[in-house]
Structure 1
Amino acid sequence: MERSNNTAVTYDSDMQSADLDHLELDSAQKKIGLLRLILCSAIGIFVFFVSVPHNGDTEIVFSIIYNKLVGLMGNFAYWVLVLIIAANFVCHLYYKYIKKGSCQSAFAKVYDNDSVLHTLLYALGLVYVVLYAMKVNIPGFEGPEIIVGAATGESVMPSIVLGVLGIIIVGALFMPFLLNYGILEIIGALLEPLMRPLFKVPGKAALDAVASFVSSSSLGVLITNRLWRKNVYTEKEMVSIMTGFSAVSIGFAYLVINTAGLGHQFVKVYGISFVLVFIMEMIMVRIWPIKKKKNVFYNGHEQTEAERREDTKMSLSLIPKGCTRAVKRAYIAKGVPSEVIASLKDSFLILPQVLTMLSAIGVSGLILANYTPIFKWIGYIFQPLLILFRVPDVAAIAPSLPVGIAEMFLPVLLISGNIGAISVKARAFVTIVSMVQIIFFSETATVMLATKSPIKFREIVICFLERTIIAIPLAAAVIHLFF
């Protein structure tokens, strides 16, 4: 593709921000770019970040759309899940054990790095979703409580697995408006002087964080993964953003805070959690395992020191530079139909694995949490720290801390039946820690693994433990100050 003013310049829609500075557009091209920037970015911002009146309340447009999509399917949606997850299992067996890497199609490559563990997880995910689909669609069929009960399958399938199905499909339709038509260039230029020195990530990472806070944590992970594959982030930046900024949405946070009996203090609890997420990320990016990740882009290009230092000095010139880059980015982007089709294709390639892993790991994690003493035993490890920082009701709340790795709602759920006997400080402590842990296998961690992000299972677990240990003294300090 070639367009230029005087000299023919070859470029593509994924060119780096710095390369845009060398691109010259004539006045007509600038007008086209500006129009695309305004219209497409407005659509993206409206869908992902604007709340509108809905059913007597207000809700993010994106949430309304994907909930409507899932709602239209009704209970038949669970048979759709069965079909997708069964197809994933069959394809895994075919490409892993029959073809054994001989196929080179994009779809076959999705299964390239699968192991025997994936075979087990895919089989478990299929069993779980079949049993749950039968429970909700076949009168008289109950299924095993340990798999389909309220504490396990019913907590994962409707809200998380079906929710992520809607998020991926609707996200694929609208993410190009947000990511490909210039608004990222403006955000990146303005916030680079803040984000780079504090968090060692580009200013554009702020968009991922905001998307998580206002829409969903899965969306934050998917946006980060998409930008990594477009060579916007390096491996290290991608892992930092994904594990540090993919916080739960405001709506879900309210449910968590209210369950802990702190709904009347929602603004205080959520505000504290919001601040702590950023404080913790400043620490996390400077320690192992994130610190050891490579500053290499998806295409293999190694990030230079000059690229990392670019635009890190606060200056009024960043505003026009960001706007100029945004217009150029919007102009060189492909047409909306092409970008949406490409986005849908990428999303459908990862959809089967994401849904399967969410079913398998989500339900299995809740089975371990509710039917075994494993997390209670691990909780004993944290008791000395809680005592050291004078957190009240240590014996009652310690088992709730490690269980957050299975599902972030579980820590609060475990203490919800005993709210009257647990002090406000202790409840606030559990709530804040669960919200800043960020990594949980019923959703965010599983999406990370299923999208082939450059982070291993053990590294995810280590990041969770590190975040928990860092969160304990911080949360202890704020409950003594503010509660």
Structure 2
Amino acid sequence: MNNDNTTKIDSKSIMKFAIPSALGVFIFLFPLPWNGSVNIPIGILSEWLAALIAPAAPTLITIFILISAIMTAITSLLKPKAIIDNKLLSKLFTSSPFYLLFKIIGAVVVLMVYFNVGPEYVISGDTGGTMLSLLKTLVAWFFAASFLIPLLMDFGIMDYTGTLVRNFTQPLFKLPGRSAIDLLASWVGNCNVGVVLTTTQYEQGYYTAREAITIATCFSAVSLPFCLVIAALLKVEHLFIPFYAILTITGILSVVIMTRIPPLSKYPNEYYAPVGKQVNEVEPQGITKSQWALKLAVERAATAPDAKGVLNKGFEMFMGIVFQLTPLVMSFGTIACILATYTPIFNWLSVPFGYYLQMLGVEEAFAAAPATIVGFVDMFLPAVLAANIVSLKTRFIIGILSLVQIIYMTEVGTLIITSKMPVDFKGVLILFLEKTIIALPIIVLLTNIFGIA
């Protein structure tokens, strides 16, 4: 098939699309038995890297955050030409006063935690210590993903699947077909990697703002092994099949609803202005959908970077995460953990959800209420708060809710609000609350249907 003078589809061009794409699908989506559980290859690799760098990780992360804060302050105050005129350095260290402030806070906090000096509420294992530990894992995940994500983005698999399945994703989720691979990678794999994949696609002109925000806030789920961890912590692991089934059904139904109402429906359906629209999934007349899908995929693969280009892109992506995001994750996450651990604010704020749970017929409604909103801080906290609830059914419901909400400020929320997507802290908070309100009755109904008691 050769439809124009610029595209030649032969076995060589097809293989250039097919082999890297198949490898990317395997690495990011293929479940494997591992250490008595199930994991995906990128997860296995990241866990290995995390264990490998564990002895040096706290020191490295502290150095990265200090360099970020110092260099950003120098850039903001002195505007040195060597940084401003360098594309990569300018991207890494140019910041607004707001983010500069929180980078400095992140640097102060990480120094206090690293040297174990300062108030207990800052450096304890429930606050700053937790965040430094989380960052060790995050850095390993992002290092692996930064160099492997091009297999999904640059060699045509998203273009190919996008054309074939747009008639499914568009009416159901109001999303382009190419999002199918992104949705799966975000749902099955690591939620942070899913957000990075989504924001990169937005910045390259393949999603509108509304589409990118929808995927980042509604499809970024935790990995299957972590679902097992949460189920075990809540002592409902023997019910894991209905647990994960209800989790998946609730996730799908909540997105179907949320995409049709504000605030998601009100975000601009416009592409990132500096690049504009870069996607066309609708096949022209005289060509079948499958032919058009293959043509787009081969054209995309033909422009893919070589090995050196992939390494350069991966390096830039990883540097961006290390110097731009780790200080903010450290500062935002520690502040959120302090509020959750050392203040009654979440107990106060959760009172309406106590009445909501009571109305839905959930046992121990007010005891469970704080667990319905503390997930905004971190995905692990709801399970910790709900672990001592007597009712198995209530623990089951809270466990599923915590995994459906998955917009938490210690990781995903910070990645979203510091991206180029037009969504801020207030928008993320509203989406979290809306998802909670919508998901709860669905979870309770399905729990009753499945006969969980």
- The 1:205/1:173 distance shift into structure 2, 3 A limit, reads same
Structure 1 position 124, deviation (Å): 2.4
Q: Residue 324 of structure 1: which of 279, 295, 316 is its match?
A: 295
Does 1:121 find its partner at 2:93? no
* 1:84/1:380 CA distance change after superposition, 3 Å: same
1:373 to 341, 344, 347: 344
Q: 2:15 aligns with which of 27, 30, 35?
A: 35
Structure 1: which 5+ residue stretches go unaligned? 6-20, 136-141
Measured in 1, the distance between the counterparts of 2:207 and 2:68 equals 29
Alignment of 1:247-396 (within 5 A): 247-300=221-274, 310=282, 317-396=288-367
Q: How many angstroms does 1:361 deviate by?
A: 1.4
What corresponds to 1:427 in structure 2? Answer: 395
Query: Do the aligned residues in 2 keep the contact of 1:221 with 1:246 (CA within 8 Å)?
Result: yes
Match for residue 471 of structure 1 among 439, 444, 452 = 439
In terms of mean alpha carbon deviation, does 442-451 or 117-126 score higher? 117-126
Q: Which moved more, 1:231-240 or 1:60-69?
A: 60-69
Of 193-202 and 285-294, more deviation after overlay is shown by 285-294
Q: Choose which of 374, 379, 382 in structure 2 pairs with 1:403.
A: 374
Establish whether residue 157 from structure 1 lines up as the match of residue 158 from structure 2.
Answer: no
Distance 1:74 1:350, change over 3 A: closer
Q: Could you tell me how far 1:109 is from its partner in structure 2?
A: 4.2
Q: Deviations over 1:147-204 (max 9, x none)?
A: 333322343322x211221122211111111111111122212221111111111122
Q: 1:279 and 1:58, CA in 2 relative to 1: closer, same or farther beyond 3 A? A: closer
CA contact (8 A) 2:204 2:275 kept: no
Q: What per-residue deviation string (whole Å, max 9, x for no partner) do you get for residues 437-462 of structure 1?
A: 12110110011123333211111111
User: Is residue 443 of structure 1 aligned with residue 411 of structure 2?
Assistant: yes
Greater shift after overlay, 146-155 or 281-290?
146-155
- In structure 2, distance between residues paired with 1:178 and 1:318: 21
> What is the aligned partner in structure 2 of residue 18 from structure 1?
none
Query: Does residue 211 of structure 2 align to residue 211 of structure 1?
Result: no
1:25 maps to 2:7:
yes
Deviation at 1:301, TM superposition (A): 6.7
Query: RMSD value over aligned CA atoms?
Result: 2.6
Q: C-alpha distance in 2, partners of 1:70/1:112?
A: 29
Conservation of the 8 A alpha-carbon contact between 1:173 and 1:344: yes
- Aligned twin of 1:44: 24
**Pairing of 1:122-271 with structure 2 (within 5 A):** 122-135=103-116, 144-158=119-133, 160-271=134-245
Number of positions where the alignment pairs a residue of Structure 1 with one of Structure 2: 446
Partner of 1:16: none
Whole-angstrom CA distance in 2 between matches of 1:425 and 1:59: 27
- Cα 1:311/1:458, change in 2 over 3 Å: farther
Instruction: Mark the CA change 1:338 to 1:71 in structure 2 (over 3 Å): closer, same or farther.
Output: same
Q: Which amino acid aligns with 2:404?
A: V
Aligned partners of 1:296 and 1:258: how far apart in 2? 43
71 and 191 in structure 1: CA distance in 2 versus 1, 3 angstrom threshold: same
Residue 383 of structure 2 is aligned to residue 412 of structure 1: yes
CA contact (8 A) 1:147 1:363 kept: yes
Match of residue 71 from structure 2: 91
Q: Are 1:260 and 1:415, in contact at CA under 8 Å, matched by a contact in 2? A: yes
Find out whether 1:69 has 2:37 as its counterpart: no
Query: Contact (CA 8 Å) 2:62, 2:114: kept in 1 or not?
Result: yes
State the Cα deviation string for residues 213-240 of structure 1 (Å, max 9, x = none).
Answer: 3321000000001111111111111111
Equivalent position SS for 1:408: coil
Aligned-partner Cα distance in 1 for 2:201–2:350: 37
Q: Letter of the aligned partner of 1:456 in structure 2?
A: D
Query: Aligned pair in 2 of structure 1 residues 324, 311: CA closer, same or farther (>3 Å)?
Result: closer
CA distance in 2, matches of 1:129, 1:199: 40
Report if aligned partners of 1:32, 1:331 keep a CA contact under 8 Å in 2.
Answer: no
Letter of the structure 2 residue corresponding to residue 25 of structure 1: T
The Cα offsets for residues 367-395 of structure 1, whole Å up to 9 and x where unpaired, read as 11111000000010212222222121112
1:78 CA displacement: 0.8
- Runs (5+) with no aligned partner, structure 2: none
* Contact 1:231–1:298, Cα closer than 8 Å, also in 2: yes
Instruction: Describe the SS at the equivalent of 1:401.
Output: helix
User: Percent of aligned pairs with the same residue?
Assistant: 28
Q: Is contact 1:51-1:58 (8 Å) kept?
A: yes
Could you report, residue by residue, the CA deviation over 1:305-334 in whole angstroms, capped at 9, with x for unpaired residues? xx899369xxx9433332232122212323
Residue 118 of structure 1: how far off its partner (Å)? 2.2
| Stretch of structure 1 that moved more, 162-171 or 121-130 | 121-130
Q: Secondary structure at the match of 2:350?
A: helix
TM-score of the two chains, using structure 2 as the length reference: 0.91
Paired with 2:46 and 2:118, the residues of 1 have a C-alpha distance of 28
Name the TM-score, length of structure 1 as normaliser. 0.85
1:289 Cα deviation from its structure 2 partner: 2.3
**Structure 2 CA distance for aligned equivalents of residues 310 and 39 of structure 1:** 25
Change (3 A) 1:184 1:331: same
Is the contact made by 2:68 and 2:93 (CA closer than 8 Å) also made in structure 1? Answer: no
